[in-house]
């Protein structure tokens, strides 16, 4: 039987603004070929879990501190299997995943990064550090990238990118907000829809 949508898991660590953008996109029909079935956080106090609960989405906490890297990844895999997950979205998930894990889900894990890859990406470039580096360099245009995840941090194939101009007198904080609003929250839902459609097509 042909199914209408794929199952999505979102991995989070913090406030969950990108998760909220995905939930809103699902509600407004931008994401039409996928459904968020599960939200997994590595931190029990992540506000993203509250956002998921408010949207009646199942949540789980998997702590790297308690389980170690391999234990955490095994537990995540277990949850993904139990919930028949097709796509994993990293939305501000602050743990690097090992090659063993990413290989298992080839072209099924997507991440949003707050710069135009290959600028300001790779190991050590995350969160505000990306925007600090961009401002230090004096770039006039930055943006966001949604890409597939492989064993190299920010090294997977690019799905979508969106450029954002950098206003004068920007701070890392103001630039972070601007890139989220004008790029991340727009292209992440679109990329999820593109990948979801592709999986459904492959099943036809």
Could you write out the DSSP letters of every residue in 6-19? EEEEEEESS--HHH
Position 120 scores a pLDDT of 95
pLDDT digits (tens, 9 = 90+) for 138-178: 999 999 999 999 988 899 999 999 999 999 999 999 999 99
- Read off the pTM: 0.94
- Residues 6+ positions from 191 with CB-CB distance below 8 Å: 110, 112, 146, 159, 160
pLDDT digits (tens, 9 = 90+) for 21-30: 999 999 999 9
113 flagged as catalytic: yes
Could you write out the DSSP letters of every residue in 56-125? T-EEEE--HHHHHHHHHHHHHHHHHHHTT--EEEESS--SPPPHHHHHHTTTTEEEEESS-TTSS-STT-
pLDDT digits (tens, 9 = 90+) for 8-51: 999 999 999 999 999 999 999 999 999 999 999 999 999 999 99
User: What are the boundaries of each domain within the chain?
Assistant: 6-203
Q: Which CATH number fits domain 6-203: 1.10.760.10, 3.40.50.170, 3.10.450.50, 3.40.1030.10?
A: 3.40.50.170
Q: Which of 75, 113, 131, 147 is catalytic?
A: 113
Q: Which residues of 43-57 are buried (b: 16+ CB within 10 A; e: fewer)?
A: beebbbbebbeebeb
């Amino acid at each position: 039987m042909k199914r209408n949508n794929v199952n999505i898991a979102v991995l989070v660590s913090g406030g969950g603004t990108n998760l909220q953008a995905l939930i809103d996109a699902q509600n407004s029909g931008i994401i039409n070929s996928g459904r968020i079935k599960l939200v997994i956080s590595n931190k029990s106090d992540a506000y993203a879990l509250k956002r998921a609960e408010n949207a009646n989405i199942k949540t789980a906490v998997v702590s790297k501190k308690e389980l170690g890297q391999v234990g955490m990844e095994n537990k995540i895999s277990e949850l993904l299997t139990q919930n028949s997950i097709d796509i994993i979205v990293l939305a501000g998930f602050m743990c690097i995943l090992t090659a063993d894990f990413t290989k298992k889900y080839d072209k099924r894990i997507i991440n949003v990064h707050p710069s135009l890859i290959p600028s300001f990406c790779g190991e050590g470039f995350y969160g505000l550090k990306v925007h600090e580096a961009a401002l230090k360099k004096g770039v006039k245009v930055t943006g966001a990238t949604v890409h597939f995840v492989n064993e190299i941090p920010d090294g997977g194939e690019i799905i979508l990118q969106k450029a954002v101009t950098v206003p004068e007198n920007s701070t890392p904080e103001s630039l972070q907000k601007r890139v989220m609003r004008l790029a991340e929250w727009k292209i992440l839902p679109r990329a999820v829809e593109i990948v979801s459609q592709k999986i459904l097509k492959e099943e036809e």
